[in-house]
């Protein structure tokens, strides 16, 4: 169900982008999601916590310029995979592996005019993160004393702040770099033998960085 929701959301956002328009550009490159390295306490024990690992995937962003200054950007990527790690008394143990997609829609303001090769920009927007394919590790099953373990993470809405720059090589080709701070908070629940065993509100709040090749139509 979550995967279907993810596909539907991204398809809907892409459908909003006017493809056949000279103001359209696409950026393709490496995108890294690096969650906040602090941990979130597990409700049942404040000495225990959870935190996520970083991951790099193929990033695709679509930019639509309303005019010389204002651009609407849609951020998409192949699914990110993270290890959910323990902290405190369970430091160093992987609790689960998860996958997520954080599509984001951002309004950017571009400085300088279009005749400049290098143009910095800032942006603000909204993010929707969907989590799926949550898999508990053998270590977690051992701690809970059963193989009947499931992990669920709730989807998240949050704000995005962004800075970056575009460099124009010629009329079509260029380079794109950006760094975004995303507000991603999720409620994690672990079930053992069908009963709720652990809960935690995990504040991922990742720094998202991308370096890409830009093509303007």
The per-residue b/e assignment along 78-116, b for 16 or more CB within 10 angstroms, e otherwise, is eebebebbbbeebeeebbbbbbbbbbbbbbbebeeeeee
> What would the pLDDT profile of 76-91 be if each residue is shown by its tens digit?
999 998 888 766 555 5
Answer yes or no: are the C-beta atoms of 44 and 80 closer than 8 Å. no
**pLDDT > 60? residue 183:** yes
DSSP class of residue 9 equals H
Q: What is the pLDDT of residue 86?
A: 67
> What is the average per-residue pLDDT within 53-65?
93
Q: Which CB contacts under 8 angstroms, 24+ apart, belong to 175-178?
A: 175/211, 175/212, 175/213, 175/214, 176/27, 176/29, 176/61, 176/210, 176/211, 176/212, 176/213, 176/214, 177/210, 177/211, 177/212, 178/61, 178/209, 178/210
What secondary structure does DSSP assign to 41-54, as a single string? EETTEEEEEEEE--
**pLDDT > 90? residue 6:** no
Tokens of 154: 């709730």
The residues near 110 (Cβ < 8 Å, ≥ 6 apart) are 68, 69, 70, 71, 119, 120, 121, 166
Instruction: Determine which helix (DSSP H) or strand (DSSP E) holds 210, and give its type and residue range.
Output: strand 207-216
Structural domains for the chain? 2-37+51-85+95-133+154-186+205-216 (2.40.160.20)
For the question of whether the overall pTM of this predicted structure is more than 0.95, the answer is no
Q: What is the pLDDT of residue 109?
A: 97
Tokens of 131: 């989590």
> What would the pLDDT profile of 153-162 be if each residue is shown by its tens digit?
899 999 999 9
Answer yes or no: are the C-beta atoms of 159 and 183 closer than 8 Å. yes
Q: How big is the CA angle at 116 (ends 112 and 32), to the nearest 5 degrees?
A: 80
Answer yes or no: are the C-beta atoms of 110 and 117 closer than 8 Å. no
Backbone angles phi, psi at 107, to 5 degrees: -95, 120
51-60, 65-74, 80-89, 191-200, range with the lowest pLDDT: 80-89
Measured distance CA(69)–CA(111) in Å, rounded: 7
Q: What is the pLDDT of residue 41?
A: 60
86-100, 118-132, 199-213 — most confident range: 118-132
What value does the mean pLDDT of the chain take?
84
Question: Given the structure tokens 């890294």, which residue do they identify?
Answer: 32
């Amino acid at each position: 169900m979550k995967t279907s929701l993810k596909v539907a959301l991204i398809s809907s956002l892409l459908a909003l982008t006017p493809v056949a328009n000279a103001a359209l550009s696409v950026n393709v490159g490496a995108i890294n999601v690096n969650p906040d390295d602090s941990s979130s306490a597990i409700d049942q024990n404040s000495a225990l916590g959870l935190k996520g690992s970083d991951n790099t995937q193929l990033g695709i962003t679509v930019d639509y310029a309303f005019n010389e200054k204002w651009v609407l950007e849609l951020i998409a990527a192949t699914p990110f995979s993270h290890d959910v790690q323990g902290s405190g008394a369970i430091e160093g143990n992987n609790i689960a592996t998860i996958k997520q997609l954080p599509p984001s829609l951002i309004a950017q303001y571009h400085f300088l005019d279009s005749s400049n090769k290098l143009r910095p920009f800032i942006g603000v927007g909204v993010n929707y993160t969907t989590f799926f394919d949550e898999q508990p590790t053998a270590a977690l099953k051992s701690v809970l004393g059963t193989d009947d373990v499931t992990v669920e993470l709730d989807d998240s809405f949050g704000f995005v702040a962004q800075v970056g720059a575009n460099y124009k090589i010629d009329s079509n080709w260029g380079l794109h770099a950006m760094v975004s701070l995303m507000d991603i908070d999720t409620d994690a629940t672990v079930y053992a033998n069908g009963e709720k065993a652990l809960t935690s509100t995990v504040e991922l709040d990742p720094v998202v960085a991308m370096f890409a090749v830009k093509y303007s139509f």
